[in-house]
Amino acid sequence: MPVSLIIGSQWGDEGKGKIVDLISEEVDIVARYQGGANAGHTICWGDEEFVLHLVPSGIFRENVTCIIGNGVVIDPVAMMEEIDMIKNLGYKVDGRLLVSHNAHLIMPYHKKIEEAREKALEKGAIGTTGRGIGPAYVDKFARVGIRVVDLLDRDVLRRKLTVSIQAKNEILEKVYGAEKLDVEAIIDEYVQFDQLIDPYVTDTAHYIGRALRDGKRILAEGAQGSLLDIDHGTYPFVTSSHPTAGGCSTGLGIPPTAIDRVIGIVKAYCTRVGNGPFVTELFDEVGEHLGKAGAEFGATTGRPRRCGWLDLVALNYSSMINGFTELSVTKLDVLSGLDELKICAQYSFNGNIMDRFPSEAHILEQVEPVYKTFPGWKEDISGASTMDDLPRAAQEYISFIEQETGVRVSMVSTGPKRSQTIQR
């Protein structure tokens, strides 16, 4: 069957970029379906490391066509910068990157409104990436958004932008007491994108429809993570899109019946950037160790990521929503050197055991993790190429994940590079 899906099973930064880059060797198309430049997907080979925010992580495989689908919100400035970066590395982009004409745009006023709103929320702030994601999706759903296709007609763009900026200026000034934006300056900047973006724009849903008919293999690359999903995540501490499996269908126009492989990317422990409940968060030296050994700093914002033990209550919830057909466990090497390891297999709430993940943030704030303890291992596992190369304790850690989720672990990642992966 033609469509595979890569999904972050936790709060993002599970190592999706690495796995997409790895698997894209075997596919024809890699497509992003939601989110925007809030994503930071890292790809490593040799001694080089690249972070992609908008362009799909298949771009470094020359056989692959990359698609930015209708469900993505696109900051044209960020996108052109990224295209230049990739071209400067010597990769062909023209003819290999297609951008949906229906995708909505992120404009400077979206970032301004986000900044003002986060500031006004004070302690209740979401801790967003500041990329204008929320306000851009607000406009999309309020049916006042500006789309990629609008960039191609200067008169249309001028008309729509004028109306939009004037409306946003009212909000900025009257609600947030913030500075107004210069209508003409923004219009002058964005009308330039018509020729720059034109070569990439197409009806990507039709392109994908044809590709499916022709038997092409498609890999859909989720951004963020399932627990940041606007419907299924820890609302309101979520992003404004659908990183979960359903988002793939609406965000690309892929029928659900075409999807047969749903790969959940699971970091061997948990991290979270930004605010919101995190049951297994560690505030001790083990948490510090995970942050240090795992280099847990945001690939988009550089913020330190909060770290904690693996949470199987959350993972089982994520698996239920996404229907994972297999799991890919990443960053197992980061656990090396710890005396003992813990996995949260249940929650306790008001003294009662709870197996259900409560996505309600206020309940999640109150539950306590119930841990199962595992022996650690001291060996460096970053060179392992089969499961048998792993210490017994590491094998048992993976087996426990399979046993508790009922989903096969098909890949184990033991380092950031392509070669540091066990494929089973």
- Annotated catalytic residues are 13, 41
389: alpha, beta or left, given left = phi > 0 and alpha = psi -120 to 50?
Answer: alpha
Q: What letter represents residue 99's amino acid?
A: V
Residue ranges in 266-295 that form contacts with ligand GDP under rule CB under 6 A: 294-295
Comparing CB distances to ligand GDP, the nearer of 17 and 369 is 17
Token pair of 27 as six digits: 């596919």
Looking only at residues 392 through 421 of this chain, which bind ligand GDP when binding is defined by CB under 6 A?
Answer: 413-416
126 binds ligand IMO (CB under 6 A): yes
Q: What x-and-dash track marks residues 314-343 binding ligand GDP by CB under 6 A?
A: ----------------xx-xx---------
Q: Which stretch binds ligand GDP (CB under 6 A): 41-49, 74-82, 193-201, 235-243?
A: 41-49
* Tokens encoding 67: 């698609």
Instruction: Indicate the helix (H) or strand (E) that contains 382.
Output: none
Contact 32, 72 (CB under 8 A): yes
CB 147 within 8 A of CB 100: no
Residues sharing a CB contact under 8 Å with residue 304, sequence separation 6 or more, in sequence order: 291, 296, 297, 298
The Cα-based distances of 248 to 16, 255, 289, 305 in angstroms read 15, 9, 35, 27
Alpha-carbon distance of 62 to 157, in angstroms, equals: 34
The Cα 145–Cα 137 span in angstroms is 8
- Per-residue string for binding with ligand IMO, 272-311, x by CB under 6 A? -xx------------------------x------------
Q: How many residues bind Mg ion (CB under 5 A)?
A: 3
- Least separation in angstroms between CB 35 and ligand IMO: 6
Contact characters 35-54, Mg ion, x per CB under 5 A: -----x--------------
Q: 131 touches which of ligand GDP, ligand IMO, Mg ion, none (CB within 5 to 8 A by kind)?
A: ligand IMO
Which residues contribute to the site for ligand GDP (CB under 6 A)?
Answer: 8, 12-18, 40-42, 44, 294-295, 299, 330-331, 333-334, 413-416
Which residues contribute to the site for Mg ion (CB under 5 A)?
Answer: 13, 40, 299
